[in-house]
C-alpha cells in the first residue's frame, strides 16, 4: 500500500492558462447522454476554497492559499510522492521539464484513488466539487464502502505489474487507442500491440478490426454511464462490452455514485445493490475472473487538475460549466502521460478530422458530433501541442 497522501496548493497563473483560449471551442459527447437529468448540480452554490476541519493525525495534511481562479475551480490537489518505476533517462518526466507545458504539469498528482483517501477530512474537502471533479455527488458511506476495497498496492499504481513482467529497466512504452475513424485501414494493429501497455476506452470494437487497432487491452477506461451508452450505441458494430483478458485492468472514471456502486459490486462479485444499475451483475461486463486488484479508479483531484490546467475550456465561463469535463479518451491519454515513459496516441482527433468518419468501425461515413459537455477542439489542439513538444507521438496518417 502506498504512503498516505498529502495536499499541496498548486496555484495557476493566468498567463499559463490563456494560451488555451486562442482556438475555437466545441464539444463531443461520450456515448448517448449529454444533457442528463442527473447532471451535477451547480458548483457555484458549494462555496469557495474554504479549509476543512482540522484532520486527525491519520488523515492528510494540506495548506490552502490564494488562487487566481474562481473558487469553484479548486486548484489545490493531493500530493503523492511515487518513485519512478524505471530508470528511463529521456522519458516524459524529464522531457516535460524542457517543454512549454512544464508550468502546467504536476509530477506528484495522484492519478488513482485508493482506500487511504476515504477519510472524513478528505470527504469534507472534495465534497465541495461535484461530478467527476469531486465527491459532492455521493454520500460518505457509499464512498468509504467502495474505496475500502481498493486496499492493495495494485489499486494505487496504473502499471502495477511492470516489475512482475521482468522489466526493471528501460522505458515503459504505452499505446493509447481512441476510436476515431482515422484508424480505418491504417494497418497499425501490430504496432499498437507491440507496446508494453495498450489503453482503450468506451466502444472499443476489436473483432474484425485487428489489423487496424490490434487485439491487446491492458487498461480499459470508462464510466458506468459511458459503458452502458456504448453497449447500446455500438452493438450493431459488434461492441459487446469491455475487452476481457488476463492482463486487462479496468479503470473507472467516477462521474457519480453509479461508478462507486458498480466498482464495489465488481470487487465483491455481487449484484449492484442500489441505483440505476441495481441488480446488474458486473461479471457480465468484466468477466468472472475479475478481482479487486484489477480495478482502479481515477482520483477526482486528477480529473479536476486536467480540467483546470490542460483543458480549461471557455465552457467554464458559461451556464454549462457544471457538465463540462475532459472527454473519457482525453482523461485516458493524459493519465498515460502521467504514468508511462513513452506514449503513442492512435485514433485521436487531428486537424484533418473531417476526412474521417467518427469511428473506425462505422459502416458509413458519420461526421464527428460536437456537444457542450466536452471541448473536443481544445483537446485536438492539446494533442498537437504535446506532439510538437515530443511528449506524445500522435498518429496523424498524413
Q: State the CATH number of the domain containing residue 60.
A: 3.90.1480.20
Number of domains present in the structure of the chain: 1
Give how far the C-alpha of residue 177 lies from the chain's centroid of Cα atoms, to the nearest Å.
Answer: 13
Cβ proximity of 348 and 177 under 8 Å: no
Which of helix, strand or coil describes residue 6? strand
Residue 1 lies in a domain: no
pLDDT in 10s for each residue of the chain, 398 residues: 455 565 554 444 333 333 332 333 333 333 322 222 222 222 222 223 322 322 332 333 333 333 445 556 888 899 988 888 888 989 999 999 999 999 999 989 999 999 999 999 999 999 999 999 999 999 999 999 999 999 999 999 999 999 887 766 689 999 999 999 999 999 999 999 999 999 999 999 999 999 999 999 999 999 999 999 999 999 999 999 999 999 999 999 999 999 999 999 999 999 999 999 999 999 999 999 999 999 999 999 999 999 999 999 999 999 998 899 999 999 999 999 999 999 999 999 999 999 999 999 999 999 998 989 999 999 999 999 999 999 999 999 97
- Identify whether 38 is part of a domain: yes
Q: State residue 342 phi and psi, 5-degree precision.
A: -135, 135
C-alpha cell at 45: 452554490
pTM of the model: 0.84
| Cβ atoms 277, 261 nearer than 8 A | yes
Residue 218 resides in a domain: yes
Dihedral sign from CA coordinates of 37, 40, 42, 45: positive
User: Which DSSP category does 59 fall into?
Assistant: S
Q: Which domain holds residue 144?
A: 6-394
H helices present in 64-126, as ranges: 92-95, 120-126
Residue 69: closest CA among 94, 48, 43 = 48
| pLDDT for res 6 | 56
Sheet with 197-201: list strands edge to edge. 295-297, 249-252, 219-222, 197-201, 173-177, 342-346, 393-394
For residue 140, being part of any structural domain is answered with yes
pLDDT at 385: 97
Spatial separation of the C-alpha atoms in residues 57 and 172, rounded to whole Å: 36
Q: What's the length of the chain?
A: 398
User: Which pLDDT score is estimated for 72?
Assistant: 64
Within a domain: 257? yes
pLDDT at 2: 52
The grid coordinates of residue 124 equal 469534507
Distance (Å, whole) CA 314 – CA 334: 20
Tell me which residue of 274, 295, 277, 275 sits closest to 286, measured CA to CA: 295
> By three-state DSSP, how is residue 119 classified?
coil
Helices (H) and strands (E) in the chain, counts: 12, 9
| Grid coordinates belonging to 233 | 450505441
Amino acid at each position: 500500500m502506498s504512503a498516505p497522501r498529502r495536499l499541496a496548493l498548486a496555484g495557476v497563473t493566468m498567463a499559463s492558462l490563456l494560451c488555451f483560449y486562442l482556438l475555437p471551442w466545441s464539444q463531443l459527447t461520450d456515448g448517448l447522454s449529454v444533457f442528463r437529468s442527473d447532471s451535477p448540480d451547480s458548483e457555484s452554490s458549494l462555496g469557495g476554497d474554504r479549509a476543512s476541519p482540522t484532520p486527525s493525525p491519520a488523515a492528510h495534511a494540506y495548506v490552502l492559499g490564494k488562487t487566481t481562479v474562481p473558487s469553484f475551480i479548486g486548484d489545490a490537489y493531493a500530493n503523492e510522492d511515487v518513485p519512478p518505476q524505471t530508470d528511463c533517462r529521456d522519458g516524459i518526466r524529464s522531457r516535460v521539464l524542457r517543454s512549454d507545458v512544464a508550468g502546467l504539469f504536476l509530477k506528484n498528482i495522484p492519478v488513482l484513488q485508493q482506500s487511504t483517501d476515504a477519510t472524513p477530512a478528505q470527504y469534507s474537502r472534495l465534497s465541495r466539487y461535484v461530478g467527476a471533479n469531486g465527491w459532492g455527488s455521493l454520500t460518505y458511506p457509499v464512498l468509504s464502502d467502495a474505496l475500502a476495497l481498493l486496499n492493495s498496492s495494485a489499486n494505487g499504481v496504473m502499471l502495477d505489474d511492470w516489475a512482475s513482467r521482468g522489466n526493471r529497466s528501460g522505458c515503459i512504452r504505452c499505446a493509447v487507442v481512441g476510436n476515431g475513424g482515422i484508424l480505418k485501414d491504417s494497418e497499425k494493429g501490430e504496432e499498437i500491440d507491440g507496446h508494453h501497455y495498450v489503453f482503450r476506452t468506451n466502444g472499443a470494437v476489436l473483432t474484425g478490426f485487428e489489423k487496424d487497432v490490434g487485439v491487446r487491452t491492458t487498461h480499459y477506461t470508462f464510466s458506468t454511464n459511458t459503458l452502458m451508452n456504448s453497449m447500446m450505441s455500438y452493438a450493431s458494430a459488434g461492441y459487446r462490452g469491455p475487452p476481457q483478458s488476463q492482463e486487462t485492468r479496468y479503470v473507472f472514471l467516477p462521474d457519480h455514485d453509479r461508478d462507486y456502486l458498480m466498482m464495489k459490486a465488481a470487487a465483491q462479485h455481487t449484484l449492484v445493490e442500489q441505483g440505476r444499475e441495481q441488480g446488474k451483475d458486473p461479471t457480465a461486463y468484466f468477466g468472472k475472473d475479475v478481482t479487486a486488484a484489477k480495478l482502479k479508479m481515477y482520483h477526482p483531484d486528477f480529473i479536476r487538475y486536467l480540467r483546470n490546467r490542460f483543458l480549461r475550456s471557455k465552457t467554464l465561463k458559461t451556464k454549462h460549466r457544471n457538465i463540462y469535463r475532459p472527454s473519457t479518451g482525453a482523461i485516458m491519454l493524459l493519465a498515460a502521460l502521467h504514468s508511462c515513459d513513452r506514449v503513442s496516441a492512435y485514433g485521436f482527433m487531428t486537424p484533418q478530422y473531417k476526412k474521417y468518419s467518427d469511428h473506425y468501425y462505422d459502416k458509413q461515413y458519420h461526421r464527428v458530433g460536437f456537444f457542450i459537455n466536452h471541448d473536443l477542439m481544445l483537446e485536438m489542439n492539446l494533442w498537437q501541442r504535446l506532439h510538437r513538444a515530443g511528449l506524445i507521438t500522435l498518429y496523424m496518417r498524413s
